[in-house]
Chains A and B, each alone.
Chain A
């Protein structure tokens, strides 16, 4: 019988690799004080991950298919396909990328406008909301809290080329 690993099993394998890296790197340090805690914790976590992985595959072997032995906690989340979560993450990532390139004061209203417009809002309502949000952000963070808001790579590039 062929056992198909679950998402949990794949995630445990990723954890296993992560912990192995920590264990290997921590053993390279000379001083005991430096390596004691990370080596100890990564060794314990490694053992626990192997146990969890074994349990996962044992459970799979019993049921035949790992898809049948999904945990209660996974159940609710499984109702929503992973693709939708990744779509949401894509929007989040778009905001971060926008801030990197255009800076907060342009990326925030632009992102709010595109997001709301794409989700059924009228274009003028989306524009107004984006503008309102950036005004509040500017007043609270730049004026009141004196935070130097990141201007973005594009602004820095054009500033250095055309500024002087």
Chain B
């Protein structure tokens, strides 16, 4: 009953004109900045921090919630239309979203993305409301060994991402992991692979690696081929009807993958430290592994958009909830939010859920409201935005190259980052040319630091028996060979089923 009254109080609060206005303005800002590459939700939240000192949390929180939850929606627009992820969390959408755009189906891809995004966010907020009373004990089940095994499973999904040549996929992942080792080692502070260079002490920046490996090969190809992103003869592409068609298509044909993407995304959002950037690749791998047409992935498969987009927006409420419940930030953006909470006099932890339930509900409801507002802006703005795909490639190259160089610099204002992106772009170009998986490298790079932290901790705590330290870790250990041999198991079961059907037919005869 108390929970219900807290919920209604929060509902009344978010419909207050001031809160609505603040949420709307923050949503517009988040959407606009989300479109800019390398300007992530976290960065926008950082920039707003100085203005939050002493602000009433009931006004400050909606600003932050709208900023961090809607920026990924803006990022999917550039990921789909230009092949440039607006944020790390949109990186997986590039693969099939941009491929669809190149086939002249940008509007359809945006429709699928929009529906997956908004439905994913709303569903996960619903789950959050239900989970609030029991969240802490659930999360406590996942300790270091389980987290390590989850990361290993996620990395093994890589082999699925490059089915035509798994070895190349694993090599790419290995390179990603090795690149993540550059810089100081977290638990000892020892500098590795820096060769005496102070710049490398902090390691390579994720946005720089993302842009170099994913975005730059696309841009270089645009210049090299001299053709527009989408076929220029498809004049009808990108209409509002196409967008609506894409949204309807999700409800008609991709409900199952949307649901699985949302649940997995939400689950990974709950796990401290994993973050949305890694989870979208895991969901992408899962979608490909379970698809009836895995060969379509990379060439414009709708499930390749639906799954990561559902996961990206579902991860946010889970991420927020766990930060509120445990006071442990689940991702980079949550570190910023945690700082903002403390600045406004709110201390996250189990007590917050009990003592400030209304504030927690208000935050979740603001995420929902901001997503609805963001979706409306996205919906009406998309037809105009799809026109970009038929613009001369030289225009796109002329404007995006300076923007990428600038965004790389903006991340930490180091000029050396610009040299790094040039080198990484060259690697990305050759990887794309010789069939090495770019997503595999990115996933390895994103998960590398976490893998190392959990590996050393697990070995310290359990030795090599960490595989069997709890029922959850045993289940995950069993999942490892299942992931590796999923194809073979699927084929074996298929053959078995086929034989049984044949036998049954034989009996009938």
Contacts and interface: CB of A to CB of B under 8 A. Distances in A.
Contacts of B181: 22, 26, 37-38, 41
Contacts of B219: 88, 92
Contacts of A115: 394, 397-398
B402 A112 contact: yes
B405 A96 contact: yes
A8 B433 CA distance: 8
B170 interface: yes
B192 A95 contact: no
Contacts of B405: 95-96, 99
B178 A84 contact: no
Nearest to A94: B401
Interface string B151-191: 00000000000001101101100110110010001011010
Contacts of A129: 398
A49 to B, nearest CB: 6
A112 B398 contact: yes
B38 to A, nearest CB: 11
B193 A22 contact: yes
A77 interface: yes
A45 B481 CA distance: 19
Contacts of B422: 92-93, 96
B398 A116 contact: yes
Interface size bracket, B side: 35 or more
A15 B192 contact: no
Interface string A103-144: 010011001100110011000000001000100010011000
B224 A84 contact: yes
A58 to B, nearest CB: 13
A73 B433 CA distance: 8
A80 B398 CA distance: 20
Contacts of B224: 80, 84-85, 87-88
Interface in B192-243: 192-193, 216, 219-225
B178 A19 contact: yes
A100 B402 contact: no
Nearest to B429: A85
Interface stretch (B131-139, B312-320, B448-456): B448-456
A157 interface: no
Contact of B425 (A49, A92, A120): A92
Interface stretch (B79-87, B272-280, B411-419): B411-419
A74 B422 CA distance: 22
A145 B394 contact: no
Nearest to B162: A73
Interface string A40-66: 011011001101100100000000000
A89 B426 contact: yes
Nearest to B189: A34
Contact of B434 (A48, A74, A89): A74
Contacts of A41: 174, 177-178, 181
B432 interface: yes
A150 interface: yes
A37 B433 contact: no
A18 to B, nearest CB: 7
Nearest to A25: B193
A19 B168 CA distance: 14
Contacts of A71: 164-165, 435
A19 B171 CA distance: 10
A94 to B, nearest CB: 9
A37 B398 contact: no
B70 to A, nearest CB: 18
B192 A80 contact: no
A29 interface: yes
Contacts of B436: 11
Contact of B171 (A29, A37, A52, A137): A52
Nearest to A113: B398
A15 B171 contact: yes
A87 B221 CA distance: 10
15 contacts: A7-B430, A7-B434, A25-B192, A26-B193, A36-B455, A37-B181, A42-B178, A71-B435, A85-B224, A87-B223, A88-B221, A96-B405, A104-B406, A112-B399, A141-B410
Interface of A: 7-8, 11, 15, 18-19, 22, 25-26, 29, 31, 33-34, 36-38, 41-42, 44-45, 48-49, 51-52, 55, 71-74, 77, 80, 82, 84-85, 87-89, 91-93, 95-96, 99-100, 104, 107-108, 111-112, 115-116, 119-120, 129, 133, 137, 140-141, 145-148, 150
Given A26-B192, A77-B432, 18 more contacts: A11-B434, A25-B192, A34-B190, A37-B451, A37-B455, A38-B193, A48-B167, A48-B170, A84-B225, A88-B221, A89-B425, A96-B421, A99-B405, A104-B402, A104-B406, A137-B406, A141-B406, A150-B409
Q: When A and B form their complex, which 3 residue pairs have the shortest distance between CB atoms, in order from nearest?
A: A45-B174, A88-B223, A84-B224
